[in-house]
Amino acid sequence: MTKTTQVLRAASAWTGRAGGILAAPEIHVTAGRIAWVGRQGQRPLPEGAQVVDLGSRHFLPGFIDAHLHLWGLDLADATGLWTWPLPYRAMRAAADMRRLLESGITAVRCMGGPLGPVLAKAVREGHVAGPHVVAAGEFICSRAGTWDHAIWPRDWVDQLGMFADGIDECRKRVRERIREGADLIKIGGSVGEHTDTLRQWGNDPAKLRLSYSDGEVAVLVEEAHRNGLPVATHAIGEAAVRQALEAGVDSIEHGHGIGEETARMLAGSGAALVPTLSLPALRAKSAPPPVAAHWQRHRDVQIASLQLALKHGARIVAGTDFVGPPFTPLGPDAMEMELLAEAGMSAEQALIAGTSGAAALLGLETGALEPGLSADILALDGDPLARIGAVREVAFVMKSGVVYREPPA
Ligand SMILES: [Zn+2]
């Protein structure tokens, strides 16, 4: 961060808001924040200003991935989950965060895992370079619930500290997360069949069972909200999405396998839907055949449910559910916006889902090119409003006024 004013220029800008297009834009950045946005030549240059001209490129707010997992694992060798010490995983996660930043992701929500809160703190204090991190800490679910995979050794799963059964344990787990520095609470709301050893999601997205009783979910949400923490629920299928909405959660994660009435209820609730299209899209292509077919089934249902949610005007936020290499490497996360557009959103709606819409859900002062917000600014080679695939053509990345990527000279 520097005290001198940085002055950024390019051919055009999209501000992060509907209709927010500027030709020949100029952005002034002071002390890590956006100080002014306007047209080139409209204002005299501040004294000692440092001008960065990005030529024919297009400015956008930094992208936000509202659903990923900073686990620091190599998923080709899942035994790392048991055998790799957490400090080693944290260092690998730091490298993942650097990659995210360089590819234009300037804020993320870490949606379950032990490292999130400390990574958030390390970035905030400037020890490592990474996106702003909003972290859930470890998942909360019931025994035999969302992440209690029967193929995992029971003692090992127990020591993760994610189980909460019954009202008292639910309250206690939320309080533990608060002590650990979580920014939000992540609940496992739906669970697949344990006979399905491939994926916890089970084979029929519409028929997953509930992890929790209504009373347990109500207590989880009440305790989190009383402490000022939002709640996100992993909810697939009609029953889980309804239960979560009735309890007043702030976002529905995945959220597919729903019908017309639930889509209407979702839109009316004001809760955000984070459909996570990227993970099934990648796994349907890369997984071995029986597993790939499973992901494809979820992908088809996801798209149908998203279209219902859009029809009723639900708030959609971009999130990938990426976990790490080699199957879901952290970095190409902007692809979620391409997939949202492919599924029926306009390019601008998809971009809002990955910028200002996501910032509102994360509670961060970013997501738009507006004075007072964190100077999280990208320049792309192509114009993503004309061609959404340009979200992968990131030539310049600034986060909090610090430049992490520059176009070749
Ligand atoms: Zn996830």
Per-residue pLDDT of the chain (409 residues; tens, 9 = 90+): 557 999 999 999 999 999 999 999 999 999 999 999 999 999 999 999 999 999 999 999 999 999 999 999 998 888 898 899 999 999 999 999 999 999 999 999 999 999 999 999 999 999 999 999 999 999 999 998 888 887 788 898 899 999 999 999 999 999 999 999 999 999 999 987 545 555 555 667 877 889 999 999 999 999 999 999 999 999 999 999 999 999 999 999 999 999 999 999 999 999 999 999 999 999 999 888 878 888 898 899 999 999 999 999 999 999 999 999 999 999 999 999 999 999 999 999 999 999 999 999 999 999 999 999 999 999 999 999 999 999 999 999 999 999 999 998 7
Is residue 173 packed enough to be buried (19+ CB in 10 Å), middle (13-18) or exposed (0-12)? buried
Report the separation in Å between the CA atom of 118 and the middle of ligand 1, taken as the mean of its atom positions. 18
3-state SS of the chain? CCCCCEEEECCEEECCCCCCEEECEEEEEECCEEEEEEECCCCCCCCCCEEEECCCCEEEECEEEEEECCCCCCCCCCCHHHHCCHHHHHHHHHHHHHHHHHCCEEEEEECCCCCHHHHHHHHHCCCCCCCEEEECCCCEECCCCCCCCCCCCHHHHHCCCCECCHHHHHHHHHHHHHHHCCCCEEEECEECCCCCCCCCCCCCHHHCEECCCHHHHHHHHHHHHHCCCCEEEEECCHHHHHHHHHHCCCEEEECCCCCHHHHHHHHHHCCEEECCCHHHHHHHHHCCHHHHHHHHHHHHHHHHHHHHHHHCCCEECCCCCECECCCECCCHHHHHHHHHHHCCCCHHHHHHHCCHHHHHHHCCCCCCCCCCCECCEEEECCCCCCCHHHHHCEEEEEECCEEEECCCC
Report the separation in Å between the CA atom of 320 and the middle of ligand 1, taken as the mean of its atom positions. 8
Report the separation in Å between the CA atom of 34 and the middle of ligand 1, taken as the mean of its atom positions. 32
Report the separation in Å between the CA atom of 234 and the middle of ligand 1, taken as the mean of its atom positions. 8
Report the separation in Å between the CA atom of 276 and the middle of ligand 1, taken as the mean of its atom positions. 8
Report the separation in Å between the CA atom of 152 and the middle of ligand 1, taken as the mean of its atom positions. 18
Angstrom CA distances, 132 to 50, 180, 374, stand at 25, 18, 10
Report the separation in Å between the CA atom of 235 and the middle of ligand 1, taken as the mean of its atom positions. 11
Report the separation in Å between the CA atom of 112 and the middle of ligand 1, taken as the mean of its atom positions. 7
Report the separation in Å between the CA atom of 327 and the middle of ligand 1, taken as the mean of its atom positions. 14
β-pair partners for 230? none
Report the separation in Å between the CA atom of 373 and the middle of ligand 1, taken as the mean of its atom positions. 28
β-pair partners for 23? 12
Report the separation in Å between the CA atom of 5 and the middle of ligand 1, taken as the mean of its atom positions. 39
Report the separation in Å between the CA atom of 23 and the middle of ligand 1, taken as the mean of its atom positions. 38
Report the separation in Å between the CA atom of 135 and the middle of ligand 1, taken as the mean of its atom positions. 12
pLDDT at res. 194? 45
Q: Do the Cβ atoms of 317 and 272 come closer than 8 Å?
A: yes
- Residues with CB under 5 Å of ion ligand 1 are 111, 321
Report the separation in Å between the CA atom of 42 and the middle of ligand 1, taken as the mean of its atom positions. 45
Whole-angstrom Cα distance, residue 223 to residue 102? 37
Sequence length of the chain is 409
Report the separation in Å between the CA atom of 7 and the middle of ligand 1, taken as the mean of its atom positions. 38
Q: Do the Cβ atoms of 255 and 238 come closer than 8 Å?
A: no
Number of alpha carbons in the 13 Å side-chain half-sphere of residue 226: 9
Report the separation in Å between the CA atom of 280 and the middle of ligand 1, taken as the mean of its atom positions. 11
Report the separation in Å between the CA atom of 176 and the middle of ligand 1, taken as the mean of its atom positions. 20
Report the separation in Å between the CA atom of 147 and the middle of ligand 1, taken as the mean of its atom positions. 11
Report the separation in Å between the CA atom of 182 and the middle of ligand 1, taken as the mean of its atom positions. 16
pLDDT at res. 204? 77
Tokens of 150: 């029967």
Report the separation in Å between the CA atom of 310 and the middle of ligand 1, taken as the mean of its atom positions. 22
Report the separation in Å between the CA atom of 253 and the middle of ligand 1, taken as the mean of its atom positions. 8
